[in-house]
């Protein structure tokens, strides 16, 4: 193509050859040819540059926005060729690792923001969201309508909470029961982007759920543990509990009602720590990250304080901590809102608080099967803190962490948590002698054995609404049933 | 491989263009095209590329045989065998699962449903092959003597996997004699880029709306939400498909081929019959020429053939009942229109015919979308407003409103571009104006196309978007 157009260009040079003739008198066919050559001469270098750009510039290998490793070049074999994995993999690799991927994504999202009106008064709902029936209280599984829409409302026998089967309190046909729809409500379900106090905030909406698995698992664990071991349930609400504008309140459920429902069904030997009403008193403070699906360190502080009161342990005031700040943080909600550029353009400060006795604290890191890995700091420096600041707490979730605090009070805490819990741990350094941090999704030992083996005195379940009511809770029964009787060896103590 | 893909645009295409334009002789250029076309097809169908080559060889042989036995009985047998084998291949690869499933359903049998993957583009190249053997029999084309040239026709990658269904008669001469002029290359490239932008900038983003609302169970979707989404879907299908046709026509043009237009602003139609003269023209004209006017089952019977054509049109789009309903649905309206008569319909107020035709078309796309018949039923409840009584659905909802506000310019732009605005602008610059205006128009078009190419490429980077909540390095 290059040869061709180059030769065309030299043969054309029209104005020179047409010299004296006024431009508008030249034959249309010649003008057409000349202008075509000219346009090729403009397009070709652009196209050539884009080809070279794709092949010569360094390819990306990670995406900080998407928080993942990018695709690798597929390996070739007859098998991968004939099942299409190789050729498909090449296309995937080529697009996935495009040079400056994250920057181009941001540019593309900026362009897409021109598709509509984005004023400060509009609430944007991203992804499917269903109106939550405010008249329905949690755990009334009558007149259930499964999410598939294929079967019409059936009798209460489809309910998985036996106690309510017999009570037909509701009989209207137009009501929906969300206790049957756990699986429907994942984090991709609905995100609302709202503007408050001149800042954008992305909210994950909550449609409801039964929490049956959570309740059953905790009650089961309670029955297996010695009564001297204290158990606590502390569920953190999603930010939408406090920041959903009134006119959009219909798209998210009142989480407090669901927490209260769980509390009423938990064994009396389990202490419910109600942080929903505590956080409600601090909504004007910075208790939730606006651009991320987590709360802030401050939000976690109020939760930790409430727990410490319930557990009857000493608790240090926030004024005794050293505050550190990471500026320019833009969290997960940017990618999860499908790249809403307003979130990207409205970064926030990420604070974390280091306790006074931190020099006496050692964190021990193990893999999910409790094989010792290394020990050292609890607060870690992270790569690209502007998008991964939340990893400051222990560097992530897929591990078991033990913390020795230097406190001598005989209290040993086990925290069963999702990533929300990570922000709380630092506040317990003055309250417990030892802290074991276990992620509800990544733990391969038997929880009962582990608690007994480690002489744990306090077991705290702390996680966000989605984990207690959604898919993550499915793993809780496994933690109690799996790997029973296997020996537990602490590699760090040898 | 598809066109709207960075690897195609910046690896396959430049390699192909370089090889093609480095060759001086047409024979070598054709060879380059065959090799790249087969690589293109094998990229998506590593095994079925042999099916493509077999189909080319078989139909070429049938054509040659017909050519040898002109006016003899054998030629009739040959064309019958050719068409039957082509249709049989199509049925085996496309409809086996559907036929077995329905046989099991209606006769309560338990025949295991075979899992046969649909070879990409088989519906397109099979129809091209059928048109070729019938044209040979009708003597409207000369049978191609060279297998290589016939393989080039059937496998030519610009039109191979998503149309248009290019008739052999259209490219017969171009295969052996063609030139890429500067105008061909420049106008072809622009056409290709405009098609790319229609797909990547408009269609893909309209589809995001469609999946937001139609992706899940639609029983709780509001009435206006359903209307909103089905309009977005109608526009999506148009921009996706016509964008692909633009890319095909543009690419063909760069190589010196001139394919017939496949879309002619279908949404400006006033009747359903007119819609189908403007929508996927290469398919509707195929059925018109080879099925409707052809005495397939003895002498042509007008209304029987009409419904046969629309049954087949629906069926062609996919092995699901909803596609058959979709075809017959249009058949019914075309039947009604022929009964009323063209002349009488012309006298109707324009506003009325536009509203009538758009309503039918938009609801038609709802039928086209929902392969799940349960969801299709729910769609009709929603769109008619009956769902407000049966499901207690709302008339409107805030999520729809939020989506509408966020996409209002995209939708407005899509509607504008789906009407013949571009030809008017083109007419101003390239026909009405003097040379200076012409040149200005050309430069503006070049700049616009470069912007569209870069923007489409940037948006394509996002096509493997797969965010994680937690760090997965």
pLDDT digits (tens, 9 = 90+) for B354-405: 999 999 999 999 999 998 999 999 999 999 988 888 877 888 877 788 788 8
Q: What is the pLDDT of residue B467?
A: 62
Instruction: Evaluate if residue A132 carries a pLDDT over 90.
Output: no
Which has more pLDDT, B406 or B239? B239
Residues B198 and B166 in one domain: no
pTM above 0.90, yes or no: no
Q: What is the pLDDT of residue B297?
A: 56
Is residue A78 exposed (0-12), middle (13-18) or buried (19+ Cβ within 10 Å)?
exposed
Residues B247 and B152 in one domain: no
Say whether residue B388 is in contact with chain A using an 8 A CB cutoff.
Answer: no
Q: Which of B1, B438, B450 is opposite residue A91, by nearest beta carbon?
A: B1
- Does B455 contact A28 at a Cβ distance shorter than 8 Å? no
Residue B468 lies in a domain: no
How far apart are the CA of A29 and the nearest CA of chain B, in angstroms? Answer: 10
- Angle at CA B396, nearest 5°, toward B394 and B402? 130
Name the closest residue on chain B to residue A194, using Cα atoms. B402
Q: What residue segments make up the domains of chain A, in order of their start?
A: 2-96, 211-493
| Number of independent structural domains in chain B | 2
Report yes or no: B77 and B108 within 8 Å, Cβ to Cβ: no
Say whether residue B467 is in contact with chain A using an 8 A CB cutoff.
Answer: yes
- Does A50 contact B17 at a Cβ distance shorter than 8 Å? no
Give the ranges where B108-264 is alpha helix by DSSP (H).
Answer: 122-138, 147-155, 157-160, 168-176, 182-197, 204-214, 223-254
Residue B473 lies in a domain: no
Residues B212 and B243 in one domain: yes
Name the closest residue on chain A to residue B464, using Cα atoms. A96
Instruction: Evaluate if residue B266 carries a pLDDT over 90.
Output: yes
Q: Which domain holds residue B12?
A: 6-178
Name the closest residue on chain A to residue B20, using Cα atoms. A1
Cβ partners under 8 Å of residue A10, min gap 6: none
- Does B7 contact A39 at a Cβ distance shorter than 8 Å? no
- Does A95 contact B466 at a Cβ distance shorter than 8 Å? no
Average pLDDT score over chain B: 89
Q: What is the pLDDT of residue A181?
A: 28
Q: In what order do the strands lie in the sheet with A400-404?
A: A270-272, A230-236, A458-464, A412-417, A434-439, A400-404, A362-366, A372-376
End-to-end CA distance of chain B: 28
Q: What is the pLDDT of residue A335?
A: 82
Cβ partners under 8 Å of residue B235, min gap 6: B202, B206, B411, B414, B415, B418
Residue B421 lies in a domain: yes
Residue B471 lies in a domain: no
Instruction: Evaluate if residue A13 carries a pLDDT over 80.
Output: no
Cα–Cα distance for residue pair B190/A138, rounded to 1 Å: 58
Q: Which of B20, B208, B439 is opposite residue A35, by nearest beta carbon?
A: B439
Give the end of a domain, one of B128, B157, B178: B178
* Phi–psi pair at A219, nearest 5 degrees: -65, -40
Closest alpha carbon to A416 in A431, A400, A428, A404: A400
pLDDT band at B221; cut points 50, 70, 90: confident
DSSP assignment of B379-405: HHHHHHTTHHHHT---SS-HHHHHHHH
How far apart are the CA of B129 and the nearest CA of chain A, in angstroms? Answer: 26
Cα–Cα distance for residue pair A364/A370, rounded to 1 Å: 10
DSSP assignment of B336-362: HHHHH-HHHHHTS-HHHHHHHHHHHHH
- Token pair for B155: 């496998």
Cα–Cα distance for residue pair B232/B225, rounded to 1 Å: 11
CA atoms within 13 A on the CB side of B421: 7
Is residue B163 exposed (0-12), middle (13-18) or buried (19+ Cβ within 10 Å)?
buried
What digits encode the pLDDT tens for the residues B93-112? 888 888 998 888 898 888 88
Residues B315 and B228 in one domain: yes
DSSP assignment of B55-84: HHHHHHHHHHHHHHTTTSHHHHHHHHHHHH
Residues B169 and B207 in one domain: no
Q: What is the pLDDT of residue B391?
A: 78
Which has more pLDDT, A459 or A396? A459
Residues B171 and B198 in one domain: no
Work out the average pLDDT over B348-359: 91
Residue B469 lies in a domain: no
Cα–Cα distance for residue pair A188/A192, rounded to 1 Å: 11
Report yes or no: B8 and B456 within 8 Å, Cβ to Cβ: no
Say whether residue B219 is in contact with chain A using an 8 A CB cutoff.
Answer: yes
Residues B132 and B233 in one domain: no
Instruction: Evaluate if residue A379 carries a pLDDT over 90.
Output: yes
- Does B466 contact A68 at a Cβ distance shorter than 8 Å? yes
Residues B406 and B437 in one domain: yes
Report yes or no: A477 and A446 within 8 Å, Cβ to Cβ: no
Closest alpha carbon to A201 in A327, A289, A108, A76: A289
Work out the average pLDDT over A117-127: 61
Residue B470 lies in a domain: no
Instruction: Evaluate if residue A433 carries a pLDDT over 90.
Output: yes
SS3 B220: coil
Q: What is the pLDDT of residue A235?
A: 96
Radius of gyration for the alpha carbons in chain A, expressed in angstroms and rounded? 29
Q: How, if at all, do strands A412-417 and A458-464 pair?
A: parallel
- Does A116 contact B405 at a Cβ distance shorter than 8 Å? yes
Q: What is the pLDDT of residue A160?
A: 35
Cα–Cα distance for residue pair B463/B461, rounded to 1 Å: 6
Element counts in chain A: helices (H) and strands (E)? 18, 15
Cα–Cα distance for residue pair A457/A415, rounded to 1 Å: 11
Q: What is the pLDDT of residue A122?
A: 55
Work out the average pLDDT over B133-153: 90
- Does B470 contact A54 at a Cβ distance shorter than 8 Å? no
Peptide bond into B164 cis (omega under 30): yes
Give the end of a domain, one of B178, B205, B230: B178
Residues B125 and B197 in one domain: no
Residues B48 and B76 in one domain: yes
Is residue A272 exposed (0-12), middle (13-18) or buried (19+ Cβ within 10 Å)?
middle
SS3 A413: strand
Instruction: Evaluate if residue A183 carries a pLDDT over 70.
Output: no
Residues B20 and B55 in one domain: yes
Per-range mean pLDDT, top range of A179-183, A380-384, A420-424: A420-424
Interface test with A, best of B22, B182, B449 (most A CBs within 10 A): B182
Give the end of a domain, one of B178, B203, B237: B178
* Phi–psi pair at B471, nearest 5 degrees: -55, 120
Strand partners, A124: A193
Per-range mean pLDDT, top range of A116-125, A255-264, A375-384, B284-293: A255-264
Work out the average pLDDT over B124-142: 90
Report yes or no: B355 and B363 within 8 Å, Cβ to Cβ: no
Name the closest residue on chain A to residue B17, using Cα atoms. A1
Q: What is the pLDDT of residue A127?
A: 61
Residues B92 and B149 in one domain: yes
- Token pair for A37: 């050559």
Residues of A in contact with B43 (CB under 8 A): 87
Residues of A in contact with B473 (CB under 8 A): 62, 67-69
């Amino acid at each position: 193509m290059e040869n061709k157009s180059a030769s065309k260009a030299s043969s054309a040079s029209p104005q020179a050859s047409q010299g004296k003739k006024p431009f508008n008198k030249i034959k249309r066919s010649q003008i057409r040819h000349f202008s075509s050559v000219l346009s090729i001469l403009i397009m070709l270098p652009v196209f050539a540059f884009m080809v070279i750009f794709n092949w010569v510039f360094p390819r990306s290998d990670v995406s900080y926005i998407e928080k993942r490793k990018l695709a690798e070049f597929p390996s070739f074999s007859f098998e991968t060729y004939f099942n299409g994995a190789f050729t498909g993999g090449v296309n995937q690799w080529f697009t996935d690792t495009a040079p400056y991927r994250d920057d181009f994504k941001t540019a593309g999202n900026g362009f897409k923001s021109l598709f509509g009106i984005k004023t400060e008064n509009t609430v944007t709902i991203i992804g499917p969201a269903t109106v939550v029936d405010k008249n329905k209280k949690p755990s009334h599984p009558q007149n259930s309508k499964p999410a598939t829409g294929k079967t019409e409302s059936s009798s209460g026998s489809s309910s998985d909470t036996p106690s309510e089967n017999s009570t037909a309190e509701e009989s209207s046909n137009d009501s929906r029961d969300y206790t049957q729809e756990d699986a429907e409500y994942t984090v991709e379900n609905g995100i609302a982007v709202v503007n408050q106090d001149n800042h954008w905030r992305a909210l994950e909406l909550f449609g409801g759920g039964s929490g049956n698995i959570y309740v059953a698992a905790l009650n089961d664990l309670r029955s297996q543990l010695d009564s001297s071991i204290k158990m606590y349930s502390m569920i953190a609400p999603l930010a939408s509990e406090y920041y959903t504008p009134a006119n959009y309140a219909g798209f998210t459920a009142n989480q407090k009602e669901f927490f209260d429902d769980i509390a009423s069904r938990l064994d009396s030997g389990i202490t419910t720590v109600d942080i929903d009403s505590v956080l409600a008193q601090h909504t004007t403070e910075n208790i939730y990250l606006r651009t991320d699906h987590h709360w802030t360190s401050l939000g976690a502080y109020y939760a930790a304080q409430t727990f410490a009161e319930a557990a009857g342990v000493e608790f240090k005031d926030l004024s005794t901590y050293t505050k550190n700040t990471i500026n320019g943080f833009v969290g997960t909600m940017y990618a999860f809102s499908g790249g809403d550029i307003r979130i990207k353009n409205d970064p926030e400060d990420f604070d974390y608080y280091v306790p006074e006795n931190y020099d006496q604290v050692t964190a021990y890191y193990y893999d999910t099967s409790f094989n010792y890995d290394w020990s050292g700091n609890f607060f870690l420096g992270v790569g690209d803190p502007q998008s991964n600041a939340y990893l400051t707490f222990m560097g992530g979730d897929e591990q078991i962490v033990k913390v020795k605090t230097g406190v001598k009070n005989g209290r040993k805490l086990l925290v069963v948590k999702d990533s929300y819990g990570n922000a709380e741990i630092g506040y317990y350094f003055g309250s417990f002698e030892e802290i074991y941090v276990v992620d509800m999704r990544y733990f391969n030992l038997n929880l009962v054995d582990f608690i007994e083996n480690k002489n744990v005195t306090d077991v705290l379940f702390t996680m966000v609404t989605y984990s207690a009511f959604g898919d993550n809770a499915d793993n809780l029964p496994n933690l109690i049933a799996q790997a029973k009787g296997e020996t537990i060896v602490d590699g760090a103590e040898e | 491989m598809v066109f709207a893909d960075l690897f195609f645009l910046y690896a396959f295409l430049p390699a192909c263009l370089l090889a093609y334009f480095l060759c001086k002789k047409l024979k070598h250029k054709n060879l380059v095209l065959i090799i790249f076309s087969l690589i293109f097809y094998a990229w998506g169908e590593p095994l079925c590329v042999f099916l493509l080559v077999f189909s080319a060889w078989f139909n070429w042989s049938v054509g040659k045989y017909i050519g040898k036995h002109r006016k003899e009985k054998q030629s009739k047998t040959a064309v019958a065998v050719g068409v039957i084998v082509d249709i049989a291949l199509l049925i085996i690869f496309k409809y086996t699962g559907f036929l077995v499933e329905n046989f099991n359903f209606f006769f309560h049998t338990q025949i295991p449903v075979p899992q046969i993957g649909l070879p990409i583009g088989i519906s397109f190249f099979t129809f091209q092959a059928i048109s070729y053997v019938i044209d040979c029999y009708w003597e409207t084309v000369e049978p191609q003597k060279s297998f290589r040239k016939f393989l080039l026709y059937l496998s030519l990658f610009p039109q191979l996997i998503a149309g248009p269904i290019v008739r052999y008669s259209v490219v017969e001469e171009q295969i052996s004699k063609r030139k890429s002029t500067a105008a061909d290359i420049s106008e072809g490239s622009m056409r290709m880029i405009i098609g790319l932008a229609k797909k990547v900038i408009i269609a893909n983003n309209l589809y995001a709306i469609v999946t937001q609302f139609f992706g899940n169970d639609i029983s709780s979707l509001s009435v206006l939400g359903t209307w909103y989404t089905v309009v977005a879907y109608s526009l999506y299908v148009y921009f996706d498909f016509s964008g692909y046709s633009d890319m095909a026509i543009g690419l063909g043009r760069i190589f010196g081929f001139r394919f017939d237009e496949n879309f002619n602003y279908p949404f400006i139609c006033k009747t359903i019959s007119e819609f189908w003269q403007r929508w996927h023209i290469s398919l509707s004209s195929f059925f018109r020429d080879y099925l409707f006017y052809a005495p397939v089952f003895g002498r042509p019977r007008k209304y029987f053939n009409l419904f046969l054509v629309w049954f087949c049109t629906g069926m062609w789009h996919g092995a699901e009942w909803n596609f058959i309903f979709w075809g017959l649905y249009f058949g019914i309206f075309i039947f009604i229109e022929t009964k009323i008569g063209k002349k009488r319909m012309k006298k109707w107020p324009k506003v009325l015919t536009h509203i009538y035709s758009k309503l039918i078309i938009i609801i038609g796309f709802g039928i086209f979308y929902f392969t799940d018949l349960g969801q299709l039923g729910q769609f009709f409840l929603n769109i008619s407003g009956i769902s407000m009584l049966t499901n207690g659905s709302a008339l409107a909802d805030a999520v729809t409103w939020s989506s509408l506000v966020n996409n209002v310019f995209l939708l407005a732009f899509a509607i504008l571009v789906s009407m013949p605005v571009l030809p008017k602008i083109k007419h101003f610059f390239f026909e009405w104006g003097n040379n200076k205006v012409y040149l200005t128009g050309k430069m503006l078009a070049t700049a616009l196309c470069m912007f569209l190419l870069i923007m489409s490429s940037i948006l394509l980077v996002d096509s493997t978007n797969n965010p994680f909540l937690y760090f997965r390095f």
